[in-house]
Structure 1
Amino acid sequence: MCIRFAVLGPVRAWRGDTELVLGPPKQRALLALLLTEAGHPVAVHEIVDALWGQNPPDTAVNVVQRHIGALRRLLEPDLPARGESRWLVRGSGGYRLEVEPAGLDLLRFRALRQQAEHAAQNRDPAAATEYLIQALALWRGPAASGIAPEVRSHPAFTALDGEHLAAVKGAAELALEAGPGLGARVLVTLRQAAAQHPLDEALQARLILMLAATGHQAEALDVHRSVRTRLADELGVQPGPELQAAHQRVLGRAYDMTTAKQVASAKSTGPDESGGGVADAAEVELNPVVVVKPAQLPVALPAFTGRRHELAHVDRLLPAHEGPVSTVVLGGMAGVGKTTLAVHWAHMVADRFPDGQLYVNLRGFHPTGSVMSPAEAIRSFLDAFGVPAQRIPAGLDAQAALYRSLVAGRRVLIVLDNARDTEHVRPLLPGAPGCLVVVTSRNQLYGLVAGEGAYPLTLGVLSDADAREFLSSRLGAERIAAEPDAVAKIIAACGHLPLALAVVSARAVVNPTFPLASIAAELHENEDSLDAFSGEAPAADARSAFSWSYQLLTPASARVFRLLALHPGPDCSLAAVASLAGQRAGQTKALLAELVRAHLITEPLPGRYGCHELLRAYGAELARAQETAHELATARRRMLDHYLHGAHAADSVLAPRRERIDLRPHMPGVTVPRLADQTAAAEWLETNRSVLLAAIEQDARRGTGEHGWQLAATLELYLDRNGRWQEQIGAQTAAVGAAQRLGDIRGQAHVHRALGFVNGRLELWGEADAHLARALELFSEIGDRAGQGRTRRYFAFLANRRKQHEQALEHYEHASALYRAAGRRSGEANIANEVGWTYILMGKYEDALNECARALSDHQASGDRNGEAAAWDSLGYAHHHLHNHERALDCYEHALELYRAIRDRYLEADTLVHIGDTHRAAQHHTQAAHAWREALGILEDIGHPDAPQVHDRLKDIALPDPSPRQ
């Protein structure tokens, strides 16, 4: 079976026609290193040095051996356990990768360079240039792009950069000798290399000569001025002999391409009467040129889908003939489809711009790092309008003035794709009315919006319907309809991101026999990796696409982005990120703003930050590669401390006298929320609920488990009161496993007790009894009388639910004794109220009044407003059954006022239901309906399962009351 590799760009490998998934970042980097030395052994110590630098872990050699074994199995899956590999060979203290000459782009590149050298020695510059053009075409980006930056800086990879640069210089030199046709083909690569190496005088000299020789004399002189200024500003030196000689040759029109002058003259509309080769802006205005109608839009996708809402938005921005210039900025994360939408819409409205369409890729985010300058873009526009080279002024301001003059009075559509920032775009904006500018950028161009009145439109990921339509357009409606579940899983795994969907759909198209279910399963297996979203070209590779934004971050923001990958939930607060990073909130806010501007994270609400799952996976890869295990563990613990102490603080504000676990102090650098009142506490818990639940699961699966069980125990009553019983089951089940692994008896006891109570809520009696029995046993083992008392109260709750009221009273008697022994008077007061409620269920209303009145007095004396509210509600319920409706309503109003004050929304709704019941019993149907509607609104708002029962009450209120008058 043929094995092929690529390293001139992203590292890739194929076995036959199947592309291989190369595994984790270190394994991919190891393969890249072996490919740079294909056919030669690489010592183990060299591998360790390349992968870890100066501080390798003690297990580095073992890790290398493990990755070598994995690569062998990947390349030769049928290789016996102790068989000799054909491709990956051990010897000479290291490992050697054997590759066929045609099986590695690097070897083909070197072979073509060698052929170019032979042709040059035989005095055939045209053939030599052709060989080098072919060699440079093999490069798809920087060598081994996509591996960790610190590994990529190893000399083995920087040496490849040197080979590329030498080939570019050689191609330029030979093309100058060969003729103008080849020079134009080399110029694009030469420009890119010069942009990457702005202080390489030899390279800049070749660019200057090539520009002049291909008819771009003005730009050649402009490049010389820029290089001279840069050398002076950055190095404090003047241009060297090679650069000075190139400048003189341009001024003297002495280039090696002897026919270039005639070609440039033949293309011009007439001689330059001044006798000079470069006109100034005034000359151009006095001698207008013949302007052609440009039509530069790229080919649109044949099957564009979705984005109807966004298309309708930009349609409304089409300018009137006399109206000002309209500018639309399409923003969004990498791979969200900004360019696709811009080009598609531009084709839709192109006929409204009869004077032409301009398009330029500004390369603000590009695999080569070669950003197109505004001067280059304007020059390309002037070329598109047919302006002769000798009539183009030298300076950027003069060129921009000429460009604006050309579009003045015309209706031109201008697409400025892939801009880096506002200053990248500003010189390209026309000044005349009637034109439309569409800008795409990964950055938020605030300056363009504020200073130029641009309209921002941020693209989100595709909706479910649009994502299905996207896949259907590529895979066919029948294939999509045949496997709807697999399609839904693929869309979810791709995070609804067009780039990811395109990569996956391409794999499905190339392999029409693959069931979509198998592709969905493959994505699930690699859910923490971007390997499944690697395309053939850098622009179609998720990892590469994300890297172009990441590489422009400041180091501090890059660190925050990496650490954000540790966060478990869909979004997070500023305080949570500050805790992750161990920084002050103010410092962190500025770093998050940089990430938001780069569209690496979102800020859907002020102070709440989110991150797409694939960007989170990319950040996790970077974190594993660039942070130590200790740093990651410490950051994760700070984050969990933030959530645990925040939840504990919120619970303490909501119910100061509630029984709760004690916590150890939080780590330095942790920001704990300051919650001023019950409203703030309740809002904090509800806002962070999904994150808190995710944190429990994450710590139970990947952490120590201590934070997981403590957080579950802290959230127990909050989840219960809000009817989140299925969430409670999930959280406590994860927590009990974590506590068991830790061997933490106290943790196991708390979690078993919570599981017993919630299973009782769901009437799963067997599970409830078993969990409570286990909790009672564990609390007894550690001598926790208060824990035993609360467990006995939960047993009583189950007994009452099953109408076993005498048994409930026995449990309350045991619980009361336990609380008394533990010195917990609040627990005894709670029991008095619960015994009163049991008497109500037994029909002993007078006894109930006595117990509830005692509970009310105790709670008022201790300042326990939660207990006081519960006692008032129980008193109201007892009076209701004694037909004392006015007394009942008075008690309920006391309870309602307290529940609203402490923000217990479930029990507020529960009391409103009781108020409605009493009004109905008193034949006050209007007041009953009002109370029930208010209760229903609360229950529906919090998603409580009791809502249907209240809805039924409202349906029945219009019917005649069948019960006898009370």
Structure 2
Amino acid sequence: MTAHIEFRVLGPLEVGVGDRPVRLRGLRQRSLLAALLLDAGRVVSIDRLAAAVWGEHLPESVRTQIPIHVHGLRKAFKDAGCGVQVIVTEQAGYRLRTDGVWLDAREAEELAAAARKAAGAGQSEQAAAMLGRVLGLWRGPVLAEIDTAEIAVVARGLEDARLSIAEEWAEAELACGRPREVVARLAGLVEDHPLREGLRAQLMLALWHSERQADALEIYQRGRRHLREELGVEPGRGLREVQRAILAGPPALDATRPEVPAPRVVGDADDEPLPADTGPVVTVRPAQLPPPVSAFVGRTSQLRALDRLLRQDGRFLPMGVISGVAGVGKSALALQWAHLVADRFPDGQLFANLRGYDLDRESAQPAAVLERFLRALGVDGEAVPAGVEERTALFRSILDGRKVLVVLDNAQSAAQVRPLLPATPGCCVIVTSRRRLEGLLVGGGALPVPVEVLTEQDSAELLARVLGAERAAAEREPAADLAALCDGSPLALRIAAAKLAMRPQWSVAEMAERLADERSRLDQLSRGGLEVRASIGLSYRELSARAALAFRRLGLMDAPGGFAPWLVAALLDTTVHDGERLLEELVDAQLL
């Protein structure tokens, strides 16, 4: 590919071929290209592209609209004089080629890495120059004209990276003895991001070294007021140490970047700065994990996949999304792994049932969950902010620099989860949901961990553990039949085994015979408030009317090889394309 194609995402989306701009038509076309650029070089699936373009409200014609927009983009490149295929069609989706392409975000990442290496070698002048070039690549808010949640999450990540680079640049400039340049650049950034303590500390140091002691102390007081009024917290130790150094006298010859730990919760202390060795006051270690499920079997590959979260490079928040059909054991897997690795998170474990699929209660609101989390972390009830955004900011501030495991069970959507995510890579988040929550996979880089039904061997082992090895061995063949009738569903297996355990006079063969009747099978699989029918019903009630009709009619068919779009088209007297869309809706709802 020729090397004259330039993409710019650090500001409004811009594309150029040589000196000619590529004219992008419409927000959806721009959103699709942005999604490909943010995953440049990798295949992006149709589902992920759809989430980036339309968010969670997908049109029925999404499968045809994506290729139409891709065709429009290719035509725009061709009209601008590009003679090669920039967007490549792959079996699983589309990929934006990176050979011969210049992308400002990639340039920023490579330059910043080189600058950090230079800083580590003591080459402050070189580091300052390179970091200054990096900051110059930003032309405004990242992809500001694109407002889908998935793109917004990535944009916020790039904006956070910009602020971190600004802090590193300020440190390098101060080491080179240029505080006035730091003041000129950081003053506006601190005004725009008043809760960013690292930026404020660097601005205070720069003012101090510019012989503006009073201004530096005023910047501290403004920041303290913002933190107290918006989050109910005091400045962190790093900011207080900078204030104390300014009060002590003239600046030292070298100005080093202070460490800014998590803020402390407001208590009964007066307005005087705390001693340097007091540290954060929030020391509560929550341990909220429910007990693991008894007789846990199988899931070796899923546990191994989750272990990969502990081996990430430390730059991004490790997050796994466990998805699967109702009753397949998602929560059991999450709790089993959480207890196995709890000692890797010395600052505690937080747990919340988000009730995304609860028969009797509404889904948990993020604001209410955040309030419980903040109280568990030691925040006084009166200090909990009112709004969701403020609570999220305080939650992330408290967890900054800590190692906490957060388990969010039974989530309904990515939007319900996002406010509950920490920002520090030392933490880890596990989410369970019936849906795949592709918004978290696309925007948050979450690891997908799909959970299928148990194998025959694992089903037999689960029955043996609940019934007792002797009873299961005595009726080995009926136990195998019972496991097959439960179709590998841990929920169904546990209900059936619990009924047998409570009725020792029943034989396993008798229970299997009861389940063999398809008309009453779901009636039999009910025990102590647990029902297979109710679990399926919660997913069913979220379907569109036509998908629900397709589900009912497919239930009348005997199709051991699976269901094809033409079959749905025949059952509903519709097109094959519409049949495919309805099947996809049923798959997304984990009903097929």
TM-score range, shorter chain: 0.5 to 0.7
- TM-fit CA distance, 1:317: 2.1
Which residue is equivalent to 2:264? 288
Q: How does 1:623-642 map to 2 (within 5 A)?
A: none
Structure 1 residue corresponding to 2:535, chosen from 516, 536, 545: 545
Q: 2: CA distance between counterparts of 1:527 and 1:544?
A: 16
CA contact (8 A) 2:231 2:394 kept: no
Which residue is equivalent to 2:221? none
- TM-fit CA distance, 1:365: 0.3
Which residue is equivalent to 1:379? 371
Which residue is equivalent to 1:636? none
Which residue is equivalent to 1:349? 341
Which residue is equivalent to 1:510? 502
- CA deviations 1:107-129 (Å, max 9, x no partner) are xxxxxxxxxxxxxxxxxxxxxxx
- 2:565 counterpart of 1:589: no
Structure 1 residue corresponding to 2:590, chosen from 599, 612, 619: 599
- 2:541 counterpart of 1:565: no
Q: For 1:444, what is the secondary structure of its paired residue?
A: coil
- 2:467 counterpart of 1:475: yes
Query: Could you say if the C-alpha distance between residues 369 and 595 of structure 1 is closer, same or farther in structure 2, counting changes exceeding 3 Å?
Result: farther
CA contact (8 A) 2:357 2:538 kept: yes
Which residue is equivalent to 1:841? none
- CA deviations 1:344-368 (Å, max 9, x no partner) are 1100100000010000000000011
Structure 2: gaps (5+ residues): 1-226, 236-262, 266-280
Structure 1 residue corresponding to 2:415, chosen from 423, 426, 436: 423
Q: 1: CA distance between counterparts of 2:572 and 2:232?
A: 59
Structure 1 residue corresponding to 2:290, chosen from 283, 298, 302: 298
Q: How does 1:339-488 map to 2 (within 5 A)?
A: 339-488=331-480
Which residue is equivalent to 1:792? none
- TM-fit CA distance, 1:587: 2.3
- TM-fit CA distance, 1:503: 0.5
- 2:523 counterpart of 1:531: yes
- TM-fit CA distance, 1:330: 0.4
- TM-fit CA distance, 1:279: 6.3
RCO higher in structure (CA 8 A, sep ≥6): 2
Query: Could you say if the C-alpha distance between residues 431 and 495 of structure 1 is closer, same or farther in structure 2, counting changes exceeding 3 Å?
Result: same
Identity of aligned residues (%): 43
Residues paired across the two proteins, number: 323
CA contact (8 A) 2:228 2:234 kept: no
Which residue is equivalent to 1:781? none
Higher fraction of helix: 1
Which residue is equivalent to 1:577? 568
Q: 2: CA distance between counterparts of 1:387 and 1:475?
A: 46
CA contact (8 A) 2:405 2:429 kept: yes
Q: 1: CA distance between counterparts of 2:457 and 2:549?
A: 36
Q: What amino acid maps onto 2:531 in structure 1?
A: D
Which residue is equivalent to 1:490? 482
CA contact (8 A) 2:289 2:335 kept: yes
- CA deviations 1:898-928 (Å, max 9, x no partner) are xxxxxxxxxxxxxxxxxxxxxxxxxxxxxxx
- CA deviations 1:210-238 (Å, max 9, x no partner) are xxxxxxxxxxxxxxxxxxxxxxxxxxxxx
Q: 1: CA distance between counterparts of 2:295 and 2:493?
A: 14
Q: 1: CA distance between counterparts of 2:483 and 2:519?
A: 13
- TM-fit CA distance, 1:333: 0.4
Which residue is equivalent to 1:336? 328
Structure 2 residue corresponding to 1:317, chosen from 302, 309, 313: 309
- 2:545 counterpart of 1:555: yes
Query: Could you say if the C-alpha distance between residues 529 and 558 of structure 1 is closer, same or farther in structure 2, counting changes exceeding 3 Å?
Result: same
- TM-fit CA distance, 1:285: 4.5
Q: What amino acid maps onto 2:233 in structure 1?
A: V
CA contact (8 A) 1:280 1:392 kept: no
Query: Could you say if the C-alpha distance between residues 553 and 478 of structure 1 is closer, same or farther in structure 2, counting changes exceeding 3 Å?
Result: same
Q: What amino acid maps onto 1:288 in structure 2?
A: R
- CA deviations 1:511-549 (Å, max 9, x no partner) are 112211111111113466411101221xx2111111111
- CA deviations 1:79-120 (Å, max 9, x no partner) are xxxxxxxxxxxxxxxxxxxxxxxxxxxxxxxxxxxxxxxxxx
- CA deviations 1:294-318 (Å, max 9, x no partner) are 1000011233222122112211222
Q: 2: CA distance between counterparts of 1:582 and 1:522?
A: 36
Query: Could you say if the C-alpha distance between residues 511 and 584 of structure 1 is closer, same or farther in structure 2, counting changes exceeding 3 Å?
Result: same
Q: 2: CA distance between counterparts of 1:369 and 1:589?
A: 33
Q: 1: CA distance between counterparts of 2:578 and 2:586?
A: 13
CA contact (8 A) 1:319 1:436 kept: no
Q: 1: CA distance between counterparts of 2:536 and 2:563?
A: 21
- TM-fit CA distance, 1:323: 4.0
Q: What amino acid maps onto 2:345 in structure 1?
A: F
- CA deviations 1:384-403 (Å, max 9, x no partner) are 10101111111111110000
CA contact (8 A) 2:264 2:398 kept: no
Q: 2: CA distance between counterparts of 1:300 and 1:317?
A: 20
- CA deviations 1:563-614 (Å, max 9, x no partner) are 111221121111111111111122232222222111111xxxxxxxxxxxxx
Structure 1: gaps (5+ residues): 1-277, 602-966
Q: How does 1:46-65 map to 2 (within 5 A)?
A: none
CA contact (8 A) 1:444 1:599 kept: no
Q: For 1:317, what is the secondary structure of its paired residue?
A: helix
Q: 2: CA distance between counterparts of 1:517 and 1:490?
A: 8
Q: How does 1:237-316 map to 2 (within 5 A)?
A: 280-286=229-235, 288-289=264-265, 290-291=281-282, 292-316=284-308
CA contact (8 A) 2:355 2:411 kept: yes
Q: What amino acid maps onto 2:379 in structure 1?
A: V
Q: 1: CA distance between counterparts of 2:575 and 2:506?
A: 51
Q: 2: CA distance between counterparts of 1:372 and 1:280?
A: 27
Q: What amino acid maps onto 2:264 in structure 1?
A: P
Q: What amino acid maps onto 1:598 in structure 2?
A: A
Q: What amino acid maps onto 1:547 in structure 2?
A: G
Q: What amino acid maps onto 2:336 in structure 1?
A: H
Q: What amino acid maps onto 1:485 in structure 2?
A: E
CA contact (8 A) 1:307 1:466 kept: no
- CA deviations 1:418-447 (Å, max 9, x no partner) are 000111111111111121110000112111
Determine which structure has more spread, i.e. the larger CA radius of gyration. 1
Q: What amino acid maps onto 1:284 in structure 2?
A: V
TM-score by length of 2: 0.53
CA contact (8 A) 1:365 1:371 kept: yes
Query: Could you say if the C-alpha distance between residues 413 and 463 of structure 1 is closer, same or farther in structure 2, counting changes exceeding 3 Å?
Result: same
Q: 2: CA distance between counterparts of 1:323 and 1:345?
A: 22
TM-score by length of 1: 0.33
Q: 1: CA distance between counterparts of 2:483 and 2:476?
A: 11
Q: For 2:408, what is the secondary structure of its paired residue?
A: strand
